[in-house]
Structure 1
Amino acid sequence: MLKNIVEVVNGILWGQNLLVWLLIGAGLFFSLKTKFVQLRLFKEMVKLLTKGNNQRKNGVTSFQAFCISTASRVGAGNLVGVVAAVSVGGAGSIFWMWLMAIIGSASAFAETTLAIIYRERNKEGKFVGGPAFFLSKGLGQKWLGVLFVISALICWAGVMQVVSNSVTESFRVAFGADELVVTIVVILLTGIVIFGRGDKISPLLSKLVPLMSAFYLLVVLFIVVKNITLIPGLISDIISQALGFKQAVGGTLGAVVMNGVKRGLFSNEAGSGSAPCAAASADVDHPATQGLLQALGVFVDTILICTATALVMLLADIDKTNLMGMEFLQESFRYHVGDWGVTFIAIMLFLFSFSTVLGIMFYAKNNIVFLSEREIFQKGFKVLMLIMLFQGGMQQNFFIWSLADFGIGLMTIVNLIGIFLLSKKVEECLEDYEKNVVGAESAKESAAVEGL
């Protein structure tokens, strides 16, 4: 019976693209509501990334919160998801990924800002929050908050399986490694971090995410420079195939658009309610501060990492006919940099996936607190996650994967209900930020210039 319910709901949310249209609508709504804050204040976002990141006693720094949520965004989806988009939608799908990043970042700003406004302190005095809290406190509907938490935990349990399976498959292709050995290593490393004393996740991710992203982008930059003469033609192909007459006549334009839209939306998670669970822990002086940083995280995920992955594949002159999944990406890197490219991708996937696992554990911690602060529930979920990592590493379980789709679908809908109904709060908060923070800084800068 459960399987039938999951299949029916997934058929509506995913098969009919209902979720995609809801997320597009949310992105457009908040882009207009905030007068395209993601473009107007882009310079402010970049400035905030390095501003005021000294550790505070009440929570993680804004940069650590940015890294935790980015860790979940910049995961296996940046590799596997982009491979799927390019495989089905071709070069044109990348254009729609870019567009969705721009639109979706407004939703990311809204949900994160609300998470800061309605957050609470746990028994240790640390900030906790997320959609469950603003649904309960902002709308006075605790049952919606409970529904969000349950949906999220179902989703994240399933994602653990997907991530673990991707890692073992990648290491099998690259090194011929045994699935059991790889799985045990992943579980041990994860267990050491999540069962250790104190908060090890935020400090680790604040170092791991920038390093792994920079390393990956550096190798891609080398490939792009090596093929620099092909870039103008490739950009032309991306745009022409995204809007092309040829694709429309051939009946494939819909596949190009929808695959780019789907991969863009679900890679950066804007609107799903995941990232605010980490962002709410940041000890910041104004809610919009973290909202802007999370909007920037969407750009980092899609415009930088996803585009980098796509360029490597599109610039590879190889027979793509029988290449699927990670093998497609690994062979593309092999074409550009030799056999070590296969090893490189296996290592990158491991790092991206490991960071995703830790990011999800941080999300889950804040959501479980909403239900109960008893430590036994935190430990129980950690054990469950290790079990899911083990099962996913050893074999594919398509029902669990469907359950993950079911979970993210429900949590996204519940989250969107909250941010739509509380949109006035988002608008007021942004107005206050621009008037009292951005305006004050501009006045100081003008006074300093006049004083010279």
Structure 2
Amino acid sequence: MVASARGDRHTERVDAVNEWMVAWGDNLWNWIVLPVVVLLGLYFTVRSGVVQFRMIPEMFRTLTDKTPRGEGGRTQSVSAFQAFTISAASRVGVGNIAGVGTAIALGGPGAVFWMWVMAFIGGASSFIESTLAQLFKVRDRNGFRGGPAYYMQRGLGRRWMGILFAVILIVCFPYAFSALQANTITATLSATVGPQAPPWLPWAVGFVLAVLTALVVFGGVRRIASVTQAVVPAMALAYLLLGLAVVATNVDYIPTAFAEIFTQAWGYNEVVGATFGYIVLQGVRRGMFSNEAGLGSAPNAGATAAVTHPVKQGLVQTLGVYFDTFLVCSITAFIILVSEPDLANASRGISLTQNALVSALGDWSSVALTVIIFLLGFSSILANYYYGESNIEFITERGGVLAGYRILVVLAVLAGAVVSADFVWSFADGVMGFMALTNLIAIALLSGIAFRLLNDYTQQRRSGRDPLFTRDLMPDVKGIAVWEDARSVRGPADPVAEDRQAAKHRDHLHTDKGGRKTT
């Protein structure tokens, strides 16, 4: 009797804490973060000439650029594609599958429309932040590192702001978001096993994830890059194939699903009771959680790439936003909506997506989703870890601190597998809001530099050159640590390639607008 009363009081306290966290998180997003995200995204879109749309072909071209090599033929750092997969590993995971289900459960189908809108607007923010991260990156023993903390210190001259951002990111990604990934993996596996799942299952899953995480994170960024490069494309493709199978078997419902997404984006949703403002809020919040545009996380991966011009990685990371939202998130939305779910009683998290898959394809699809979630979630944990490591090294390079950080990451993964899902979601939402706000203020102040870089890149492409940036092109910008000269950026010279490039540039200079040769 006494034990029962104590249990009830404990449950009440947990519920009260969770309600408080939800309330302050909603207020933060409603009154501060949401207006800043939208207004700055629109400003970046206009000032850049809608870079996120007009340069889509260039995004695909730069994704496959050869990695510049240093002395001895060794690559300077990870490739543009590997940096893309590290950031995609963080993006493609819980946000795409559980996050979209949560957005639809709370905001109805109309939330998907606002996820699409914010992905397009956020593409400009993503371009700005990743371009700046490339410009202000620094060298380390593995190649390069950088991110918002680095451009806050080196670009704005505000180390205190960089440290503040670094601390928020460390709490948000390697701890809160990694715990959320572990929680979702556990929930998916428990649902697959069914009611007969033993009570120790979450602890077993957490232990396995913690051990696997420890084995990889103590190997450095190159090991993380090699794992994510292999896992992310394969699992994303597997999930897309599952989704296409659901859509193909329910093709008659596609027009209805589209109609619900567009018609329910503008007003009261009678099923879930969501008003216009709440629908927009869920779309924006879950969209940012999924694609991370403007959040300040992807630049940590973008800065690791060895490229010949900062704009190249800005374009690659913008493509990552589109891949995440317009492809993977949209597949999740249609998986759910074509199954005609009971949104009035839907729960947050992975269950809505998982139930929709089972109803469309059968029980085997639940097992397939479990494997996909496990591998995508694990790769996200690794990417989240790297984001934190880069920012730990910004604060201090003492080896003991980094070792302690790695141990805490492993423990956070273990804890995430066993704690309440609602608590983890609420905590992650609130921290994400502070992180986004800090980063958006910084990139707004530095955006003029990014626009200058975009103009330089565009002019070089128009002259038929493969764009190359060196810091003497912007002598007035302080704090640029690399980009010393053409040799350090591009690597040892290739005489044949350089002669060909010079000839092409000369032909351009001696050709008038009508295409006629001039003297």
The TM-score, its normalising length taken from structure 2, stands at 0.79
Gaps of 5+ in 2: 1-16, 467-500, 509-514
Matched letter for residue 162 of structure 1? L
SS of the aligned residue for 1:121 comes to strand
SS at match of 1:283: coil
Quote the residue 1:359 is aligned against. Answer: 383
Alignment counterpart, residue 160 of structure 1, candidates 169, 178, 183: 178
Aligned to 2:53: 39
Instruction: Please name the residue that 2:483 is paired with.
Output: none
Instruction: Summarize the Cα distance change of 1:381–1:103 in structure 2 as closer, same or farther, 3 Å threshold.
Output: same
Does the CA contact (< 8 Å) of 1:269 and 1:275 recur in 2?
Answer: yes
1:409 CA displacement? 2.5
Equivalent residue of 2:417, what SS? helix
Q: Distance in 2 between matches of 1:198 and 1:313?
A: 36
Partner residue in 1 for 2:28: 13
Equivalent of residue 165 in structure 2, options 141, 148, 163: 148
Name the residue aligned to 1:263.
286
Partner Cα distance (1:350, 1:429) in 2: 40
By how many angstroms is 1:197 displaced? Answer: 6.7
Out of 136, 144, 150, the residue aligned to residue 127 of structure 1 is: 144
In structure 1, C-alpha distance between the alignment counterparts of 2:187 and 2:274, rounded to whole Å: 34
Q: Which amino acid aligns with 1:13?
A: L
Question: Who wins on radius of gyration, i.e. which is larger?
Answer: 2
Show the counterpart of 1:87: 105
Matched, 1:99 2:114: no
CA-to-aligned-CA distance 1:355-374 (integer Å, 9 cap, x gap): 11000111112111111222
Q: Which residue of 1 aligns with 2:328?
A: 305
Query: C-alpha separation between the residues in 2 aligned to 1:340 and 1:8?
Result: 39
Which deviates more, 406-415 or 348-357?
A: 406-415
> What is the 5 A alignment of 1:218-229?
218-229=241-252
Aligned to 1:138: 155
SS at match of 2:297: coil
Query: Post-superposition shift, 1:54?
Result: 7.2
C-alpha separation between the residues in 1 aligned to 2:221 and 2:136?
A: 25
Distance 1:197 1:34, change over 3 A: closer
Match of 1:169 in 2: 187
Q: Which moved more, 1:30-39 or 1:178-187?
A: 178-187
TM-score, with length taken from structure 1: 0.91
Q: Identify the residue that residue 239 of structure 1 maps to in structure 2.
A: 262
Q: CA RMSD in A?
A: 2.7
Q: Secondary structure at the match of 1:394?
A: coil
The match for 1:296 is 319
After TM superposition, list the pairs within 5 Å mapping 1:32-431 onto structure 2.
32-53=46-67, 57-122=75-140, 124=141, 126-156=143-173, 157-175=175-193, 176=197, 178-196=201-219, 199-243=222-266, 252-324=275-347, 325-396=349-420, 402-431=426-455
Deviates more, 1:339-348 or 1:437-446: 437-446
- Structure 2 Cα separation of the partners of residues 407 and 130 of structure 1: 18
Letter in 2 for 1:145: G
Residue 440 of structure 1: CA displacement? 1.6
- In structure 1, the residue corresponding to 2:464 is in which secondary structure? helix
Q: How far is the alpha carbon of 1:304 from its aligned partner?
A: 0.6
Q: How many angstroms does 1:227 deviate by? A: 2.3
What is the one-letter code of the residue matched to 1:66? F
Q: Using the TM superposition, give the Cα deviation of residue 84 of structure 1 relative to its aligned residue in structure 2, in angstroms.
A: 1.2
> Hey, what's the Cα distance between the residues in 2 that align with 1:134 and 1:205?
26
Question: The residue matched to 1:270 in structure 2 has which SS?
Answer: coil
Say if 1:368 and 1:438 are closer, same or farther in 2 by CA, change over 3 A. Answer: farther
AA matched with 2:265:
A
Distance (whole Å) between structure 1 residues aligned to residue 161 and residue 21 of structure 2: 19
- Length, aligned pairs only: 442
Question: Structure 1 regions of 5+ residues with no counterpart?
Answer: none
For 2:122, the aligned partner's letter is G
Q: Distance in 1 between matches of 2:230 and 2:51?
A: 28
* AA of the residue aligned to 2:387: Y
Contact 2:68–2:75 (Cα < 8 Å) also in 1: no
Deviation at 1:411, TM superposition (A): 2.2
- Runs (4+) of structure 1 exceeding 4 A deviation are 3-9, 53-56, 244-247, 318-321, 397-403, 441-447
Greater helix proportion: 1
Check 1:273–1:171 CA distance in 2 against 1; reply closer, same or farther (3 A cut): same
